[in-house]
Amino acid sequence: MKSLLAAGTLALAFLLGCRAGGPRAPTGPLPEYATIAAAYNARLEPIQRLWARAVTRVWYPDEHGEENSEQLEGFFQYIRARSVLILFDKVGLSQTFAVFGSNDTHYWWIELLDEKVMHLGTHAGVTPQRVRELGLPVHPLELLEVLGLVPLPGPEVANPPTVSRDAQGLIVVDAGRRRVRVEDGTFLPRLIELLDERGAVAVSAKLSHEQEIDVPFPAQGPHYPMTFDITGDGGRARVKIELSEPTTTRREPVEGSFDPEGLARRFRVERRVDLDAPPGPRP
């Protein structure tokens, strides 16, 4: 009888807690930022390079404002710290129709439909307007951030990130620009948000479905998310990226994958657009 009464008391307390505003944040002292950063960055350290198959679904408005969606297949490639490449193929076809990527100095968007066009710019000259003109939800370097591939700064920086907690986990705010929600205890990222100059969310990504990455060393690879639900442009741009068969070796990916001139030759680009040119009409 006592155990039944105790169970009923616990159930009532739970229901009252839900009615009072939902689940409550865990109690206890907050972890030190240095502890969170050390665990977060130690997990990323073995991922110096990454290759995976990628299925990307894109939601976008048409000329009438109606939402359309497209599912694409391809490959995701990454070499730390700024080299990323995604090749997009239509489902069921073996032909690449778009390429999105960057290296240490440049970023690009290559369209391979009716006309083969390369849009190429430098990181130093990028602006949010140029990214929007391309119809992209994020700049490639922002993509690396919301994919959780950019380490947290060390605690020795002048203004280390702040740490707070709510019912969903720990919240790390990096210099008022990047907000990372991590799980209590594991410190795995669950939500990464990039903030604009007003402090509003410009781009966000929900991260889920961790999988162990096969790396040469250590013997047990780190866990890394395989699913990313990305939202940008005030919710008007949505992209879902699902990775599979992830691997990181010295052979894959290769450095030449991130050379825009080599990509231009490989895909026989017919026209180029300089994204660093002064604003105005472009051919």
CATH number at residue 180: 2.50.20.10
Position 261 in a domain? yes
Which of 182, 170, 177 has its CA nearest to residue 207? Answer: 182
* Comparison of pLDDT for 60 and 179, the residue scoring more: 179
Prior bond to 218 cis, omega within 30? yes
Which of 37, 47, 107 has its CA nearest to residue 80? Answer: 47
DSSP 16: H
What mean pLDDT do residues 98-120 have? Answer: 94
Question: pTM for the complete prediction?
Answer: 0.84
Position 283 in a domain? no
Position 21 in a domain? no
Ramachandran assignment for 201, one of left (phi > 0), alpha (psi -120 to 50 degrees), beta (any other)? beta
Question: Around 131, how many Cα atoms within 13 Å sit in the side-chain half-sphere?
Answer: 22
> How far apart are the C-alpha atoms of 84 and 194, rounded to whole Å?
19
Mean pLDDT of the chain: 84
Burial of residue 39 (CB within 10 Å: 0-12, 13-18, 19+) is middle
DSSP 2: H
> How far apart are the C-alpha atoms of 135 and 88, rounded to whole Å?
15
Instruction: Supply angle C-alpha 44, 50, 55, rounded to 5.
Output: 115
Ramachandran assignment for 135, one of left (phi > 0), alpha (psi -120 to 50 degrees), beta (any other)? left
DSSP 30: P
Domain with 112, as residue range(s), is 33-274
Residue 134 has pLDDT above 80, yes or no: no
Q: Tell me what pLDDT residue 67 has.
A: 82
Position 38 in a domain? yes
Position 5 in a domain? no
Which residue's structure tokens are 């948000």?
193
Position 53 in a domain? yes
Q: Which helix or strand (DSSP H or E) is residue 144 part of?
A: helix 140-146
Instruction: Supply angle C-alpha 59, 95, 111, rounded to 5.
Output: 55
Position 282 in a domain? no
Residue 17 has pLDDT above 50, yes or no: no
Instruction: Find out whether 84 and 99 touch, Cβ atoms under 8 Å.
Output: no
For the chain, the domain total comes to 1
Which residue's structure tokens are 């920086």?
157
* Comparison of pLDDT for 174 and 67, the residue scoring more: 174
> How far apart are the C-alpha atoms of 185 and 60, rounded to whole Å?
37
> How far apart are the C-alpha atoms of 111 and 102, rounded to whole Å?
15
Instruction: Find out whether 148 and 80 touch, Cβ atoms under 8 Å.
Output: no
In 32-122, alpha helices (H): 33-44
Which residue's structure tokens are 């391979």?
112
Position 6 in a domain? no
Instruction: Find out whether 220 and 54 touch, Cβ atoms under 8 Å.
Output: no
Of the pLDDT bands very low, low, confident and very high (cuts 50, 70, 90), residue 210 is very high
Residue 61 has pLDDT above 90, yes or no: no
